[in-house]
Amino acid sequence: MRQPGSILIVDDEPKIRSFIGRALAAAGYATELAGSGAEGLRRALQARYDLVILDLVMPDLDGHQVLRRLLAGHPEQAVIVLSCVADVAAKVDCLERGAQDYLTKPFSLAELLARVRVQLRPAGQAGQPAGARAHDGAPASGEVTRAGGLTLDVGRLVADIGHGPVPLTRLEFLLLRELAEHVGASVPKETLLATVWGYDFDPGSNVVDVCVRRLRSKLGFDLIKTVRGEGYQLVAR
């Protein structure tokens, strides 16, 4: 049976792969290592992991291909891309393809661990510090949040605006619920980064903007309003 906090690390550099694996294992996670894109894709499609940490530049099957094929098979899979490519276009491309986060090499181990904790934090713990992850269970399936015509089911990670339930990723759900808790008011991007991602700094990527675009594509463009110079606002219906 898959252990809680199971993480697959896909990187062709043995030292980095081993370093990340040891650090995450010391933090209490169950880790597996894959030394190539092809091996990582095979493992991720055959088994289920709470998180995949994926290098972008690999000789046999690069991270772009792995990400595309993995999310085609398991669209709910959480992925953090870890890459020496610092180009903004590469970050945005990976995020829009479905990666949950993007961290540039060289990286701080403390930052990587913080981002891992954010990805594995249960949806019922939105707004808590990233380090406050609980290892003992998911939120109750009966917990429901409502804001106008929007209904959010915490246990199922689905949203409904009156046309039937729409599945969301954990971060999409957390972001939408944060906006729902302030319906009709503008929520600054910095606040969303802190409450949803657990960052007290700007990580240098458009994670909030990309997540908002995904929600708009799933639930309708007019659900979330961009307030220029301020942030985002959930429109009451």
* Domain limits, the chain: 6-120, 141-234
Instruction: Please tell us whether the domain made up of 141-234 is placed in CATH 1.10.10.10.
Output: yes
| Residue in this structure with the two tokens 């944060």, named with its chain if needed | 178
For 202-223, how does the pLDDT look when each residue is reduced to its tens digit (9 = 90+)? 656 678 888 899 899 999 988 9
Q: Are 215 and 224 in contact (CB under 8 A)?
A: yes
Give the homologous superfamily in CATH for domain 6-120: Response regulator (3.40.50.2300)
| Helices marked H in the chain | 14-26, 37-46, 63-73, 88-97, 109-120, 170-180, 189-192, 207-219
Pick the closest to residue 80 from 108, 47, 56 (CA basis).
56
Task: Tell me the torsion sign for CA atoms 108, 64, 50, 20.
Answer: negative
For 75-122, how does the pLDDT look when each residue is reduced to its tens digit (9 = 90+)? 889 999 998 888 778 888 888 888 888 888 888 888 888 889 888 876
Give the 3-state secondary structure of residue 234: strand
Pick the closest to residue 175 from 200, 146, 207, 148 (CA basis).
207
Give the HSE-up count for residue 56: Cα atoms under 13 Å, Cβ half-sphere: 20
For 4-46, how does the pLDDT look when each residue is reduced to its tens digit (9 = 90+)? 589 999 999 999 999 999 999 888 899 999 999 999 999 999 9
